[in-house]
Structure 1
Amino acid sequence: RMAPQPSEPAERVGRLRKSIETLAPYAPGTVFVTNTGAPLEGNMHRVMDETIRYLRDLCPLAADLGVSLSLEPLNPTSVNIESAIWTIDQAMDIIDGVGHPAMGLCLDYWNIWQQDDVCSAIYRAGDKINVLQVSDWRTPFSTTDRLIPGDGLIPLHDLLHATWEAGFRGACTVEIFSSDVPDSLYDGDLNDLIAASREGLEQAWQKG
């Protein structure tokens, strides 16, 4: 949905390869986030197998250029539209199948927080977590409807501490989308939005 063309997987992977080759020299240590894409005719098994194969081919390039890759499971609302996977465990099956140190997990709380026993899944992912994205959840008004951390239903305190205990020490990135909703966060002062997000994260971390 976000990038429907080109439709052929090999062409899409070619564009990702080109992006890595072009951008990596200017951003050493960067993590390039990707997902599986939507399965043709619901064939999730095929997409997962192909994703392993393509990422296995891309990892040596990333490593040679001093960057890495990260696979992001998406929320169930995106299954068969953007993604073939929606849980941490499914993502880890692919990451383990790739079997390369340049391959990690993108942990986006908005996408995975409803997974059963999510904190245990985070522990299992361990040092494979290489990207952390945080926002908050309400029943969406659109496909791009996220809240400031602390303003929604996600148990951020538990998830943040589980991620820390799993060994993640990278950046905690606020990722907010707020389009096609009656009260878009984009309509306010963005400096205030950033400050409120920082405060929300700090309170979520401390709140026991």
Structure 2
Amino acid sequence: MTAPDPRLSINQATIKHADLATALAVTAEAGIEAIGLWREPVQEVGLATAARLLAASGLRFTTHCRAGFFTMPEGPARRAAIDDNRRAIEEAATLAAAGAPGSTAVLVLVAGGLPDGSRDLVAARGRVRDALEELVPDAEAAGVTLAIEPLHPMFASDRCVVSTLGQALDLAAGLPAHAVGAAVDTFHIWWDPDVLSAIDRAGREGRIATYQVCDWKTPLPADVLLSRHYPGDGIIDFASLTRAVVATGYDRDIEVEIFNEDIWATDPAEAVRRTAEGFAAAVSPHLESRA
């Protein structure tokens, strides 16, 4: 078997039903060098134990998923959300310090949808900006980059009012790039007619915090959240998107993040193997011009 691409990172969501120890083990045993973790499995074992397990695995840490969800008006719920984001920043910093050399302290933010009873997208996005401004000092103190992740517009009402990479960059404008960047996720942005210029802008502004890949294929399932596929199994043009990201000088790890019930039901080691295979065929050929 060909060795996996050294820039491939397995986002833990791809093998969701594996506990943290198993996720680390099957990733390392497959010869993959990096992993992105999710907060829930980390919290199940405790941050200190998670950091110890990560260090023992020898894997690089690429992202911590996820925080955000702060579009609600000021009040107790918003204060609780901001405090939870501060805890997530601490988690990301601790895990990045525990990972192998080359680990990155990146916390992925999903903004949140419209508050109950609201139709005001503009106000909701304004509260995202307010939250970023409030969290920047914490992120800077911890050495963490907050990565705003735009989600496909089908999630705008209930999950994320930030739908394009351009919107994410607008929200980050004026804030320090080392503290606030963007997640470039192929599943969410492939459809955007302005995506290539937005990737170029993100590169010029130094805001590509992470590049994540998976594929899109129709028909979508009833739960559209679970409609992601292995790279190469759908219709996304990984050539143009990957080359655009590489052209910005982005030379760090690339995560595969998949939400799919059938893939989750697959043996984790097999899912990791298939992920590496898909990545090698669909993404790796377009990394040759890496900076």
TM-score class normalised by the smaller sequence: 0.7 to 0.9
1:185 aligns with 2:263: yes
**Residue 80 (structure 1) shift:** 1.0
2:250 pairs with one of 168, 180, 185: 168
2:87 pairs with one of 7, 15, 18: 18
Given residue 193 of structure 1, which amino acid in structure 2 is its aligned partner? A
Match of 1:75 in 2: 152
Match of 1:103 in 2: 180
- TM-score norm. by structure 2 comes to 0.64
Please give the secondary structure, in 1, of the residue aligned with 2:240.
helix
Cα distance in structure 1, aligned partners of 2:247 and 2:159: 30
Given residue 112 of structure 1, which amino acid in structure 2 is its aligned partner? I
Match of 1:90 in 2: 167
**Residue 203 (structure 1) shift:** 1.8
Does 142-151 or 28-37 show the bigger shift? 28-37
Given residue 155 of structure 1, which amino acid in structure 2 is its aligned partner? D
Match of 1:124 in 2: 201
Q: Identity of paired residues, percent? A: 30
Please give the secondary structure, in 2, of the residue aligned with 1:167.
coil
Cα distance in structure 2, aligned partners of 1:122 and 1:37: 23
Task: Describe the superposition over 1:119-157 as per-residue Cα deviations: whole angstroms up to 9, x where unpaired.
Answer: 222111112101111110112202212110000011011
**Residue 188 (structure 1) shift:** 2.5
**Residue 62 (structure 1) shift:** 1.4
Q: Which has the higher strand share?
A: 2
**Residue 199 (structure 1) shift:** 2.2
Sort the Cα spacing of 1:51 and 1:135 in 2 relative to 1 into closer, same or farther, 3 A: same
1:201 pairs with one of 263, 279, 288: 279
Structure 2: state its 5+ residue gaps.
1-66, 98-103, 287-291
Q: Which has the higher contact order (CA 8 A, sep 6+)?
A: 2
Cα distance in structure 1, aligned partners of 2:129 and 2:201: 19
**Residue 44 (structure 1) shift:** 1.5
Please give the secondary structure, in 2, of the residue aligned with 1:69.
strand
**Do the aligned partners of 1:56 and 1:99 also contact (CA within 8 Å) in 2?**
no
Task: Describe the superposition over 1:47-69 as per-residue Cα deviations: whole angstroms up to 9, x where unpaired.
Answer: 22221121112122112112221
Task: Describe the superposition over 1:146-192 as per-residue Cα deviations: whole angstroms up to 9, x where unpaired.
Answer: 1100000110111111111122122100001112xxxx122233322
Given residue 13 of structure 1, which amino acid in structure 2 is its aligned partner? I
Cα distance in structure 1, aligned partners of 2:260 and 2:140: 34
Does 25-34 or 77-86 show the bigger shift? 25-34
How many residues are paired up? 202
**Residue 100 (structure 1) shift:** 4.7
Please give the secondary structure, in 2, of the residue aligned with 1:42.
coil
**Do the aligned partners of 1:36 and 1:47 also contact (CA within 8 Å) in 2?**
no
Cα distance in structure 2, aligned partners of 1:158 and 1:26: 32
**Residue 24 (structure 1) shift:** 2.1
- TM-score norm. by structure 1 comes to 0.87
Task: Describe the superposition over 1:36-92 as per-residue Cα deviations: whole angstroms up to 9, x where unpaired.
Answer: 211231211112222112111212211211222110000111011101121111111
1:136 aligns with 2:215: yes
Sort the Cα spacing of 1:174 and 1:26 in 2 relative to 1 into closer, same or farther, 3 A: closer
Cα distance in structure 1, aligned partners of 2:150 and 2:86: 20
Cα distance in structure 1, aligned partners of 2:190 and 2:78: 29
Does 38-47 or 74-83 show the bigger shift? 38-47
Runs of 4+ with deviation above 3 angstroms: 2-5, 97-100
Cα distance in structure 2, aligned partners of 1:35 and 1:186: 22
**Do the aligned partners of 2:69 and 2:111 also contact (CA within 8 Å) in 1?**
no
